[in-house]
Amino acid sequence: MPYPVLNDDDLLVVETARDFARKRLAPHSLEWDRTQHFPVKEMAEAASLGMAAIYTSDDVGGSGLRRIDGVRIFEELSKADPVTAAFLSIHNMCTWMVDTYGTDEQRSTWVPRMASMEAVASYCLTEPGAGSDAAALSTTARRDGDGFVLRGSKQFISGGGVSDVYIVMARTGDAGARGISTFIVEKGTPGLSFGPAEAKMGWHNQPTAQVIFDDARVPAEAMLGGPDGEGTGFSIAMNGLNGGRLNIAACSLGGAQAAYDMALAYTADRHAFGAPLIDEPTIRATIADMAMNLE
């Protein structure tokens, strides 16, 4: 699909993502799905091209691009591999959250490592008893001396068990949205463990698992935004998801575009009853509907 309104800078972003996706994702993505391989090495290569901190400030190693660039990048990546693209979108969401809401120290400590994907990040909101109704979450972060002690579990966490850093929404106050704060929790924290890989119908080349906190102790500095961050965790989580939804929509469009392109090529090439399938009116109309819906 041509991009008639893009300027040279826009095109450079799109073409870099497209080229990377064609060369580094497309040839392997089916195999990764079959072997349940999480392509950390290739994601680090994407990071070296600026795709792990797309709309994150450049003073801490981010790419300093715009949301629209992120959408275009995820659309291109997902034409080759929607699953890896979707995980990169979650990682970008976490990077943006730390950049936007973190203290200077949190930004300078974490964003450069996340931008290079030396630190792969997971977003931990959902719980066994709180999904759509995320403000009902029950994982607690109890103040204890000069730190916090986390207790509870997070469900369906993309990257769970493999990621190096977990952006965790936990309850520091009363019931409801205003009692939630966000924490940066490092893998290796005593009391942090992971459930077995979830059995899924697809999306096999990214791991999904429970993230479990059994009196996991973190320093006070782990609270995103420092002491001012107390009680702001739900709005941080929702603002992250507002951008995340754009990215996931872009991943869906890219995957759909790739499916359309393959269907069009196949129906033009495949012959049945003495003619290409595309000449059969019902098939042609179906292909036309697909193109219309994509637009």
Ligand X SMILES: Cc1cc2nc3c(=O)[nH]c(=O)nc-3n(C[C@H](O)[C@H](O)[C@H](O)COP(=O)(O)OP(=O)(O)OC[C@H]3O[C@@H](n4cnc5c(N)ncnc54)[C@H](O)[C@@H]3O)c2cc1C
Q: Whose Cβ is closer to ligand X: residue 20's or residue 123's? A: 123
Q: Whose Cβ is closer to ligand X: residue 71's or residue 167's? A: 167
For residue 232, the minimal CB distance to ligand X (Å) is: 17
Give the span between the Cα atoms of 105 and 291, in whole angstroms.
Answer: 48
**Residue (of 271, 268, 274) closest to 287 by Cα position:** 268
Any residues with CB less than 8 A from the CB of 227 and at least 6 apart, and which?
220
Q: Whose Cβ is closer to ligand X: residue 61's or residue 152's? A: 152
Give the span between the Cα atoms of 134 and 106, in whole angstroms.
Answer: 25
Residue for token digits 């595309």? Answer: 278
Q: Whose Cβ is closer to ligand X: residue 71's or residue 248's? A: 248
* 198 secondary structure, DSSP code: P
Q: Whose Cβ is closer to ligand X: residue 132's or residue 293's? A: 132
For residue 158, the minimal CB distance to ligand X (Å) is: 3
65 by DSSP, 3-state: which?
A: coil
Q: Whose Cβ is closer to ligand X: residue 75's or residue 127's? A: 127
For residue 203, the minimal CB distance to ligand X (Å) is: 5
Total count of residues recorded for the chain: 295
Any residues with CB less than 8 A from the CB of 223 and at least 6 apart, and which?
141, 148, 172, 181, 182, 183, 229, 230
- The alpha carbon torsion through 262, 264, 266, 267 (nearest 10 deg) reads 160
For residue 234, the minimal CB distance to ligand X (Å) is: 13
CB 156 within 8 A of CB 128: no
Count CA within 13 A, CB hemisphere, residue 140. Answer: 9
Interacting residues with ligand X (CB under 6 A) = 90, 122-126, 131-132, 156-158, 203, 208
Q: Whose Cβ is closer to ligand X: residue 202's or residue 281's? A: 202
Give the pair of three-digit tokens for residue 74: 């995820």
Q: Supply the angle between the helices 8-20 and 67-80 in degrees, to the nearest 10.
A: 30
For residue 140, the minimal CB distance to ligand X (Å) is: 17
For ligand X, which residue has the nearest CB?
Answer: 131
**Residue (of 50, 27, 1) closest to 291 by Cα position:** 1
For residue 167, the minimal CB distance to ligand X (Å) is: 9
Q: Whose Cβ is closer to ligand X: residue 95's or residue 267's? A: 95
For residue 116, the minimal CB distance to ligand X (Å) is: 21
Alpha carbon of 181 to those of 88, 118, 227: distances in Å? 24, 25, 10
For residue 162, the minimal CB distance to ligand X (Å) is: 12
